[in-house]
A and B are shown apart, each in its own frame.
Chain A
Amino acid sequence: MVNAIMTAQPGPDSGPFERFLLWLSPDRDLALKMYREIMRKIIKYFVRKSCDDPEELFCETRDRVIRIISDRAQYDNPEALFYSVATNVWREERRKTKPEPLPVDDILPLPPQETDEKERKSRCLDVCLAKLQDSEHALITIYHQGHGLSKIEARRLLAIEHGGENNLRIKTFRIRTRLRACMDGCMNGPRVN
């Protein structure tokens, strides 16, 4: 059913997915925008619940919501409905599988020997770091340098400069998010030599 919903082309006699989009909004473009936002949030929810395959669980959630809507039930808040269904999906998933510890090799970063993939990532990171503004570059550098007490002290001083620990945390998080997005673009684009 997942594939049928995802691959079906919308036609004048709307199928379940089209009815679902209509339920989100009569404006189709807006409905797609809302759908993407809900997808992002629900996948994030499953990531936070440390599920093995958040995307798959989102698909399960979406399909259930579509069935509920198709049964002509009245729900005014799409996010609330998605969330309610997602929590059920998560509980079932939790009951179904008992998490096994992953092998350590699968968790730790790549060992320091040079690999082609790692080199490419390093180059992409260089490119993305160069795109940061000077102030952002300085902030992220100081934030991630050092060890132990010197690192704690550096961050304490940064926190004073940037309006508190929480503000500093959010600022550096946003910089890292942009760097990750930039790296994804770089890794998926043409090779950088």
Chain B
Amino acid sequence: MTSGFPTEGTIRQYLLGRLDDQEQLEKNLSQQMLLNHELSEIVDSIEDEIIEDYLDGSLSAADKKAVEDYFLRPAERRKKLEFAGLLRQRLGRRPDVRPKPAPVIVPEPAPIFPGGGRDSGLVNHWRSHFRTYCELAALVVFTVSLIYGVKVHHDLQSQLEATKKQLEQEHDRAINLAGQLQEIQQPVARLTFLGPILRDTPDTHVLEINPSTQRIKVEIGLQGRSEGAYDVRLETQAGAQIWSQTRLKASSNGLRFEMPAQNITTGAYCLAVNSQPERYCFHVKVTR
């Protein structure tokens, strides 16, 4: 119900005369119903529903009495009741059929000529075997339809098989792509400094990371230096430290550690290892 309109229950009470003693409420409702076309239509439709409920026998005893004693007094409402009864009788009798169209008239066979002869013999033959020929024709039509139906079914089956195969191929492809995507978007990036550092320039190493990158695995070749513990710092090119770790154990292959990727933005960075003169610099490019 539109806000501002009385509820369906109130309207029903009004129509059954139960608000007649509540002067102000009755007056407001009557005026609203008179002046508002939309509400007026709703009230009329609820009147129809009361009639439907009465015919269904679904009203309470009190409501049924109110309908018989009060609601159905005006002739217009009794006409509505009669119409409703007729409509449900008509629609209930033939539930899903529209009024039948005019029947198709089968033309009579040609009349027999009074002179007889070959034409009359042929006509007689048609007349006497008419039903048989109709049945034969129906059989032919049925057989042709059946054959056509089988062919269509077969074609559809083949099409279905081909579509299924295609779907499987697409599925496999999708799995492959998902795997590739996962590799691209792995949470770990790798940064490797092997061999001598020829120049301390950020352009030597470019590290690409993306929003899903969580860690950077670093490998620094220590070029024959002994195993031991090292302190490592990550600094911006300006020298500001943004990460460090102490007492990292080196192996014969070099120094391996992981650092977090969260605070790293696009720009130039260097790793400094204590007791090492060189710095291991690289450029970070954060891709979205």
- Chain A interface residues toward B at CB < 8 A: 41-42, 44-52, 54, 79, 83, 87, 94, 99, 101-102, 104, 106-110, 112, 118, 121-122, 125-126, 129-130, 134, 137, 140-141, 144-145, 147, 151, 166, 169-170, 172-174, 176-177, 179-180, 183
Contact = CB atoms under 8 A, between A and B. Distances in A.
Given A48-B43, A99-B69, A144-B92, A129 B98 contact: yes
A122 B15 contact: no
A183 B72 CA distance: 21
Query: Chain B interface secondary structure, helix, strand, loop or mixed?
Result: helix
Contact of B30 (A83, A109, A183): A83
A50 B96 contact: no
A173 B83 contact: no
Classify the secondary structure of A's interface with B.
Answer: helix
A54 B47 CA distance: 16
B20 A107 contact: no
B98 A102 contact: no
Interface of B: 1, 14-15, 17, 20, 27, 30-31, 33-35, 40-49, 55-56, 68-74, 76-92, 95-96, 98-99
B30 A130 contact: no
A170 B99 contact: no
B73 A102 contact: yes
Contacts, number: 125
A145 B86 contact: no
Contacts of A170: 41-42, 45
Contacts of A125: 86-87, 90
A118 to B, nearest CB: 8
A106 B78 contact: yes
B66 to A, nearest CB: 9
Contacts of B30: 45, 48-49, 83, 87
Contacts of A108: 81, 85
Given A51-B73, A102-B73, A107-B68, 7 more contacts: A41-B40, A48-B43, A54-B76, A101-B68, A109-B85, A179-B87, A180-B80
Contact of A126 (B35, B81, B88, B90): B90
